[in-house]
């Protein structure tokens, strides 16, 4: 049995008892990458030499170390800057970018002695829902190689599902952790806005972006979030709220938990096979003692257009920094403006250009009130919908995605259809609240994600509910992908 299937707690115990070494875990990561990554293509850059050195250091120094993630192999989405390890955002414009500092979340996982295995593929600048917008590689879903892994953290979710790493970090602006986690049958947490520092995250939409965690189990997820959360002097939007011991919340007891089920999340546009699995999961929660009640989030259908206006507007400002001057690729021209235009036009892919154009339009003189301000007002209405429901309920439950993983090439040429895939995840980012996606079974052989949405800084309750469900769900998910030696 692969070591990674045992999970963090047992692996750490084995290291402490000298049954295994950190090097064994790193060996398993690279062996598995060697076997399957030619098919999955989750990784853009490997950190093999440094990772093996770090593992050896841990092995030599002895195992009395109580670091939270001692020796655990982690994969990093390629929009989190890693000192001395190429960080591309899967964009040609950053194809040669060699960061001079570590993102705060990287410092934190390093301080707890996790070992970085490599950098993971994504939609360019995190703009997309299938990882097909990467300018570097197409990542394949380990459950069915003809299908997308979801996106934008597609490499992160695929690498965890394929057993290449124990866990991974991703970012979520409109569903970019939860949607690929759902498609790949793993556990993905988008924390409350401000829960995790954004310092060293290449910015897409600053009022929505949040770093989060992708793991095989809810327990591993709780430990990983515990590691990366907290106030950071380098990010003035990080929240001064104490980080609880999430792992201590996993009691298995959800008796009396008040669960809201929005009728909009089980309505039009959601596949029947997905609905069936979600309804079964809701019955399971009821059997565990939760009290489920149907509610309404009436502005849900406006979330996708609101998001595309706001996220694109913020992106058009954030991506202005890519001008071929301080970093990235520069095109040749004797004229400054032409140099900017050429560098950006050659360096950005179509979806990035589309969003920069949309955002620039929405912010331009004469259109600002009609589009940008209007969307900000609708954002208030969407946020209020959640506030009302969460006054009387502990969590909200529904599907993470309207369908299971779609085929590579199926939606890539139709931006609006692609955007619609995010209708269940986007509202959460607009409201700034936390949500977790966890597997709740298979539909036609593909994983279905159950989404649980919580109150601001209510991650603890989400972990408790998700863990209670996971422990009693009665199935274990593993993709069918076989390596050369299987």
Binding status of residue 190 toward another protein by CB under 8 A: no
Q: DSSP class of residue 191?
A: P
Residue among 248, 258, 267, 345 that touches another protein (CB under 8 A): 345
| Structural tokens at position 196 | 């995790």
Distance spanning both ends of the chain, measured CA to CA:
11
Under rule CB under 8 A, which residues in 414-443 are in contact with another protein? 415-416, 430-432
Pairing of strands 43-46, 115-120: antiparallel
Cβ atoms of 142 and 154 within 8 Å: the answer is no
Query: Which of the residues 129, 152, 312, 343 is marked catalytic?
Result: 152
| Closest CB to another protein among residues 174, 441 | 174
Binding status of residue 379 toward another protein by CB under 8 A: yes
CA 69 to chain centre: 19
Query: Which of the residues 129, 134, 135, 176 is marked catalytic?
Result: 176
Distance CA 46, CA 27 (A): 13
Query: Which of the residues 77, 110, 119, 460 is marked catalytic?
Result: 77
Choose the stretch contacting another protein; rule: CB under 8 A; options: 168-176, 197-205, 245-253, 376-384.
376-384
| Closest CB to another protein among residues 292, 381 | 381
Q: Give the shortest CB-345-to-another protein separation in angstroms.
A: 5
Encoded one letter per residue, x for contact with another protein by CB under 8 A and - for no contact, window 447-466 reads ---------x----------
Choose the stretch contacting another protein; rule: CB under 8 A; options: 31-39, 164-172, 234-242, 447-455.
234-242
Binding status of residue 86 toward another protein by CB under 8 A: no
| Closest CB to another protein among residues 50, 327 | 327
| Closest CB to another protein among residues 16, 361 | 361
List, edge to edge, every strand of the sheet that includes 446-454.
43-46, 115-120, 73-77, 167-172, 210-215, 187-190, 435-443, 446-454, 395-399, 258-262, 291-295
Binding status of residue 230 toward another protein by CB under 8 A: no
Phi, psi of 472 (to 5 degrees): -110, 0
Binding status of residue 251 toward another protein by CB under 8 A: no
Is residue 236 among the annotated active site residues? no
| Closest CB to another protein among residues 81, 214 | 81
Binding status of residue 92 toward another protein by CB under 8 A: no
| Closest CB to another protein among residues 305, 483 | 305
H or E element at residue 169: strand 167-172
CA dist 192 to 72, 87, 156, 268, Å? 25, 25, 20, 28
| Closest CB to another protein among residues 39, 330 | 330
Residue among 302, 388, 402, 403 that touches another protein (CB under 8 A): 302
Q: Give the shortest CB-101-to-another protein separation in angstroms.
A: 9
Q: Compute and round to an integer the Cα radius of gyration of the chain.
A: 21
3-state DSSP assignment of residue 106: helix
H or E element at residue 41: none
Pairing of strands 115-120, 167-172: unpaired
Residue among 36, 160, 166, 378 that touches another protein (CB under 8 A): 378
* Number of chain positions touching another protein (CB under 8 A): 66
Core vs surface per residue 413-449: b (16+ CB within 10 A) or e? eebeebbebbbbbbbbbbbbbbbbbbbbbbbeebbbb
Is residue 77 among the annotated active site residues? yes
Choose the stretch contacting another protein; rule: CB under 8 A; options: 120-128, 297-305, 393-401, 463-471.
297-305
Choose the stretch contacting another protein; rule: CB under 8 A; options: 69-77, 274-282, 345-353, 388-396.
345-353
Binding status of residue 95 toward another protein by CB under 8 A: no
| Closest CB to another protein among residues 284, 384 | 384
Binding status of residue 388 toward another protein by CB under 8 A: no
Following DSSP, what letter does each residue of 212-266 receive, concatenated?
EEEESSHHHHHHHHHHHBS-BTTBTTS---PPP-GGGG--S--TT-EEEEEGGGG
Distance CA 398, CA 437 (A): 10
| Closest CB to another protein among residues 57, 345 | 345
Q: At what angle do helices 374-392 and 303-318 cross, to 10 degrees?
A: 120
Measuring CA to CA, which residue among 359, 351, 349, 367 is closest to residue 307? 359
Q: Give the shortest CB-424-to-another protein separation in angstroms.
A: 17
| Structural tokens at position 3 | 């070591």
Binding status of residue 137 toward another protein by CB under 8 A: no
Binding status of residue 19 toward another protein by CB under 8 A: no
Is residue 152 among the annotated active site residues? yes
3-state DSSP assignment of residue 378: helix
Residue among 138, 266, 381, 443 that touches another protein (CB under 8 A): 381
Distance CA 13, CA 381 (A): 48
| Structural tokens at position 343 | 């560098």
What amino acid positions are annotated as catalytic residues?
A: 77, 152, 176
Contacts with another protein by CB under 8 A lie at 96-98, 100, 193-194, 207, 233, 236-237, 239, 299, 302, 304-306, 308-309, 316, 320, 323-330, 333-342, 344-345, 348, 353-354, 356-358, 360-361, 364, 371, 373-381, 383, 415-416, 430-432, 456
């Amino acid at each position: 049995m692969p070591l990674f299937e045992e999970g963090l707690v047992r692996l750490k115990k084995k290291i402490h008892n000298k049954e295994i070494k950190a090097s064994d875990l790193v060996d398993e990561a690279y062996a598995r990458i060697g076997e399957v990554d030619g098919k999955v293509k989750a990784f853009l850059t490997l950190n093999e030499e440094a990772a093996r050195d770090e593992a050896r250091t841990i092995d030599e120094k002895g195992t009395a170390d109580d670091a939270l993630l001692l020796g655990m192999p982690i994969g990093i989405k390629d929009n989190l800057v890693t000192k001395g390890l190429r960080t591309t955002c899967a964009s040609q414009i950053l194809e040669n970018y060699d960061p001079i500092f570590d993102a705060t979340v990287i410092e934190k996982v390093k301080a707890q002695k996790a070992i970085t295995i490599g950098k993971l593929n994504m939609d360019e600048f995190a703009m997309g829902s299938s990882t097909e917008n990467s300018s570097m590689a197409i990542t394949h879903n380990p459950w069915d190689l003809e299908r997308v892994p979801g996106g934008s953290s597609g490499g992160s979710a695929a690498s965890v599902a394929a057993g290449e790493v124990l866990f991974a970090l991703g970012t979520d602006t409109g569903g970019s952790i939860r949607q690929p986690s759902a498609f790949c049958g793993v556990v993905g947490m988008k924390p409350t806005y401000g829960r995790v520092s954004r310092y060293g995250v290449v910015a897409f939409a600053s009022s929505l972006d949040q770093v989060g965690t992708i793991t095989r189990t809810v327990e591993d997820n709780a430990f990983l979030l515990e590691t990366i959360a907290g106030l950071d002097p380098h990010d003035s939007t990080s929240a001064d709220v104490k980080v609880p011991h999430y792992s201590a919340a996993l009691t298995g007891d959800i008796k009396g938990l008040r669960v809201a089920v929005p009728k909009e999340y089980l309505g039009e546009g959601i596949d029947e096979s997905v609905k069936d699995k979600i309804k079964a999961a809701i019955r399971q929660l009821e059997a565990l003692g939760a009290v489920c009640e149907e509610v309404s989030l009436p502005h849900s259908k406006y979330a996708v257009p609101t998001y595309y206006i706001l996220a694109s507007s913020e992106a058009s400002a954030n991506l202005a920094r890519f001008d071929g001057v301080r970093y990235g690729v520069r095109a040749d021209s004797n004229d400054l403006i032409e140099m900017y235009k050429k560098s950006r036009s050659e360096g950005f892919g179509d979806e990035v250009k589309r969003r920069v154009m949309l955002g620039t339009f929405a912010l331009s003189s004469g259109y600002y009130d009609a589009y940008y301000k209007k969307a900000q007002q609708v954002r208030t209405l969407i946020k209020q919908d959640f506030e009302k429901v969460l006054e009387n309920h502990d969590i909200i439950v529904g599907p993470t995605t309207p369908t299971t993983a779609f085929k590579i090439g199926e939606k890539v040429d139709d931006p609006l259809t692609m955007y619609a895939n995010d209708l269940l995840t986007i509202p959460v980012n607009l409201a700034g609240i936390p949500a977790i996606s966890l597997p709740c079974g298979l539909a036609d052989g593909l994983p279905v994600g159950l989404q649980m949405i919580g109150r601001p800084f209510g991650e603890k309750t989400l972990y408790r509910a998700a863990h209670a469900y996971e422990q009693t769900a009665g199935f274990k998910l593993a993709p069918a992908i076989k390596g050369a030696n299987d």
